[in-house]
């Protein structure tokens, strides 16, 4: 069992976070949830707050005394999903002004897995530069770009095409989307 952090911001797509939480827990992992204020509001609005509150631990985004604010805390990695352009900008520039951005900063400095799932369209130059900066710092940017070639029949299955990629990059084996070519 590993310990993962799930950061949820005020970008659209709380379903991606809820599904990520579901599969992490199903795989036997312990998940700590950190939601920004806007993240709570948008998750509420998108009907996902209840699902997200199934996390094993819910941390206060203002609590810098939480263990994951320190590099000495042995969590395995973190996903920020969905990631707003505001939080993206903070993380890309070392602005650790809340527990979510501080934990992301800890991931980068300790060379742990940091998966960022940005959601916006279109991207402006600042967004793209921030994604470049985070990639150079060691994060993996996985845009919330679902695919259709697995022929998903439900919104959940469509969201899971993104979630499978998040789990892969957190080193969590899953069979959500069959490996391409495996059905031949
Ligand atoms: C319904 C709704 C959807 C939003 N979707 C996005 C989005 O997809 N991407 C984004 O960057 N901001 C989005 N926003 C705006 C963010 O919530 C806002 O910039 C907020 O300050 C982000 O704060 P946070 O990064 O602390 O969560 C949305 C806001 C609302 C109310």
Handedness of CA 137, 112, 140, 118 (dihedral sign): negative
Say what the pLDDT of residue 90 is.
Answer: 98
Question: CA-CA distance, 167 to 4, in Å (whole number)?
Answer: 11
* Cα 176 to ligand 1 centre (Å): 28
Q: Could you tell me the mean pLDDT of each successive run of 10 residues in the chain, 184 residues long?
A: 97 98 97 98 98 98 97 96 98 98 98 98 98 98 96 96 97 85 64
* Cα 159 to ligand 1 centre (Å): 19
* Ligand 1 touching residue 9 (CB < 6 A): yes
Say what the pLDDT of residue 122 is.
Answer: 98
Pick among 3.30.70.1450, 3.40.50.1950, 3.40.50.720, 3.30.70.20: CATH of 3-169: 3.40.50.1950
Site to probe by mutation for ligand 1, drawn from 11, 130, 162 as the one with most ligand atoms within 8 Å of Cβ, is 11
What's phi and psi for 83, nearest 5 deg? -110, 120
* Cα 19 to ligand 1 centre (Å): 19
Task: Show the beta-strand stretches assigned E in the chain.
Answer: 3-8, 30-35, 57-59, 77-83, 113-118, 140-141
């Amino acid at each position: 069992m590993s310990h993962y952090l799930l950061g949820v911001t005020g970008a659209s797509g709380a379903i991606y976070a809820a599904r990520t939480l579901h599969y992490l827990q199903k795989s036997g992992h312990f998940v700590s949830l950190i939601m920004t204020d806007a993240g709570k509001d948008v998750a509420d609005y998108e009907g996902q707050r209840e699902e997200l509150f199934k996390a094993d631990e819910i941390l206060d985004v203002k609590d810098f005394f939480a263990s994951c604010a320190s590099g000495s805390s042995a969590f395995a990695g973190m996903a920020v999903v969905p990631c707003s352009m505001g939080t993206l900008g903070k993380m890309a520039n070392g602005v650790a002004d809340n527990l979510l951005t501080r934990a992301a900063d800890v991931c980068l400095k300790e060379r742990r897995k940091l998966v960022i799932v940005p959601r916006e369209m279109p991207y402006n130059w600042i967004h793209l530069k921030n994604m470049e900066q985070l990639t150079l710092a060691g994060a993996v940017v996985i845009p919330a770009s679902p695919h259709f070639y697995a022929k998903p029949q439900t919104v959940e299955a469509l969201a899971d095409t993104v979630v499978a990629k998040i789990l892969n990059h957190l080193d969590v084996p899953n069979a959500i989307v069959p490996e391409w070519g495996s059905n031949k």
